[in-house]
Structure 1
Amino acid sequence: MDVVEHELASPWEAVLLEPAGGSTTGVVVLAGSSGRVDRQRARLLAEQGILALAVRWFGGPGQPPGICEIPLETFVAAVDLLQAHGVRRVGLVGFSKGAEAALLTAVHDPRVDAVVALSPTSLVWGNVGPGTDGQDRPYRCSWTWRGRPLPFVPHDDTWLEGRQSDGPVAIRGWYEQSERTFAAHLDAAAIPVERARADLLLIAGGDDRMWSSVRYADQLAARRRAAGAPVRVISHADAGHRPRFPGEAPAAPSPVFDYGGTPAADAALGEAAWGPVLALLHSRR
């Protein structure tokens, strides 16, 4: 399908990819901790007849340089833009920290109809990188709503002490230790997905070495099911943190992080999820 591409500079750096025939289904595409404009994933969705908006949600002009107290209104504004283009069904597709943002936005904005969360977390976490003041410690929440930070789990930096590595590092243990250290924070920091009106699809790899995304997906699903709300989990035991949809190139190796998985397993998870992703976004519910 032909796609028309529009570059945006305000209120954030973004690209809007519009199917040539138009669409009443729209999706906001959120990258992970790079915060980048995920143009490739947005184009894949636009080629399936979906108006796709990929935004830079931190690190751009006027934005915090790190994932620190990012206003959820950043994503609400993206929903506004889709609706201004005539969209009647709004979806959010988020990966990793972008999945955290997508889930929280759906909790706070009832206009969101569907969320696809790749490698999600069930908890609100502390900042990754500095805020607008340039400081990254002491820990603050990654997100705010109406000017107030959400309850969150800080990171236990003692996990980092004395660790040396000549290659990529798996940090799943850091998150697991932080949960043990700050166990008293977990209930308040749990993402209350049962409050979201949106349908949820959770995609996770069992060999995710960044955080425990399958366990988190199961926790999110349990909250939804207890509330009688729709949810679906798709997982693959050997996939890592970076599932790849059909048409996406294998994720580039990182010199910093061990994401787990293999190119074949990551692609297999993406392949298994692709049909359900499109069905969810195109649903008429």
Structure 2
Amino acid sequence: METFTAAVDVLQREGARRITILGASKCAEAALLTAVHDPRVDAVVALSPTSRVWCNVGPGRDGERYPYRSSWTWQERPLPFVPMDDAWPFPEPPVDVRSWYELSERTFSHRLPAAEIPVEAARAELILVAGGDDAMWPSLPSAEQLAHRRRSTGAAVRLIARHDAGHRPRLPGEHPASASPRFRYGGTPEADALLGEAAWPHVLDAIGGGGPLVRTG
């Protein structure tokens, strides 16, 4: 996580008065965790987030994919995480991997509480953007869980959602996401654009009229 807090250091040295982190998908996971660990973050925009820490995607620094390990460390210690259940039958591509994450949540349900991202502890404002037709992972249920935890402690949160949008909300001015030969993203270009359009005023508000933005990925 120090990769991201170091970027906050740079912005502060340059006189930033407001710091917003924007991340999508796995990078939303990083953005949320950064705000939890660094109270200098003023706002987080999490596009298609997860509510918990997951395992590594691909090989780690040692070049090995297995055994699964946490995606993130803080002060040289791995954060508690949820591994993947490799009993999932990997179909022919393009693949809808959401069901793999959902299976892994059921298989490793005993590990979920420790792996939850404690967004209620973050000082930052929180903007969550998610589509109900996300085929990569269950980002809308995750966003709803994050929002519930924030509201249960009286912390502010904004959730912008469309049930027909997919994994990649398209913000104004962005081109539609290219189709992947390996994965399904869900949604449609129209629904993804409408979700991005609905989220855009909240993104601008989080940035604070042109303040510095750390984009994770």
What's the TM-score once normalised by structure 2's chain length? 0.95
Separation (CA, whole Å) in 2 of partners of 1:196 and 1:134: 33
Corresponding position of 2:96:
170
From 23, 48, 66, give the equivalent of 1:119.
Answer: 48
The alignment of Structure 1 onto Structure 2 pairs a total of residues equal to 210
For 2:34, the equivalent position in structure 1 comes to 105
Residue 178 of structure 2 is aligned to residue 252 of structure 1: yes
Residues in 2 aligned to 1:127 and 1:80: alpha-carbon distance in whole angstroms: 26
Deviations 1:23-60 (A, max 9, x none): xxxxxxxxxxxxxxxxxxxxxxxxxxxxxxxxxxxxxx
Summarize deviations over 1:111-169 as a string: whole Å, max 9, x none.
00000000000010011011111011010000000000001100001103xx331x410
Cα distance per residue 1:247-268 (max 9 Å; x no partner)? 0000111001000011111110
| AA matched with 1:177 | L
Tell me how far 1:182 sits from its aligned partner: 0.2
**What does residue range 11-160 of structure 1 map to in structure 2 within 5 Å?**
72-160=1-89
Name the SS of the counterpart of 1:130 in structure 2.
Answer: coil
**TM-score of the pair, normalised by structure 1:** 0.72
Greater relative CO, 1 or 2 (CA 8 Å, sep 6+): 2
Match of 1:280 in 2: 206
What is the CA distance between 1:227 and its match in structure 2?
1.0
- The AA in structure 1 aligned to 2:96 is A
2:214 matched residue in structure 1: none
Structure 1 residues 177-216: Cα deviation after superposition (integer angstroms, max 9, x where no partner): 0000000001000000011000000000010011111100
Q: Distance in 2 between matches of 1:280 and 1:141?
A: 29
Tell me how far 1:82 sits from its aligned partner. 1.2
Which secondary structure state, in structure 2, belongs to the residue aligned with residue 248 of structure 1? coil
Which of these two proteins has the greater Rg computed from alpha carbons?
1
For the residue of structure 2 that corresponds to 1:158, the secondary structure is coil
Give matches, 1:178-197, under 5 Å: 178-197=104-123
Partner of 1:31: none
Q: Which structure dedicates a bigger proportion of its chain to strand?
A: 1
Between the aligned residues of both structures, percent identity stands at 66
Moved over 3 A (4+): none
1:237 aligns with 2:163: yes
